[in-house]
Amino acid sequence: MYTIDTNKLTKRNAATVLRRAAALIETSGWHQGDYQNDNGCLCALGAIRVACGIKADKWLKQHEHPLIFSVYNTLRSELNGVAIDTWNDRKGTTKEDVVGAMRQTAAKLDHGRKLLNGPWMDLAKEDRNES
């Protein structure tokens, strides 16, 4: 299994996180209203954290987990700027919507979509040369 370094901002790492998060929701179940429920079902944000090996409800600081925040920003951009938690918890959003958005964003990263670092900024220089 590919090991993710949450301090390394690369499209490959981000796409891997999104695919793992989608798989976690498919296997563990999907949840609205909190990061994780008592049965282990995860919301979109919780699944991204768990996909990186971090507890679903752990308080995160951006400088400690730059990849996670870049994944958040990139997915948020695909959601037309809607905050992921707002979108996840919105009436009408389904498990299939969440899994689909994660997989679609991962596929776009595989095919040249930029990974957003910070509030709507471009990816760190080191990813521009990654194959």
pLDDT at 123: 34
Token pair listed for 60: 């995160």
Phi, psi angles (nearest 5°) of residue 59: -70, 130
Share of the chain above pLDDT 90, in %: 51
Element (H, E) at 78: helix 66-78
Q: Are 76 and 82 in contact (CB under 8 A)?
A: yes
- Express each pLDDT in 32-49 by its tens digit: 999 999 999 999 999 999
Q: Where residue 130 falls among pLDDT bands split at 50, 70, 90?
A: very low
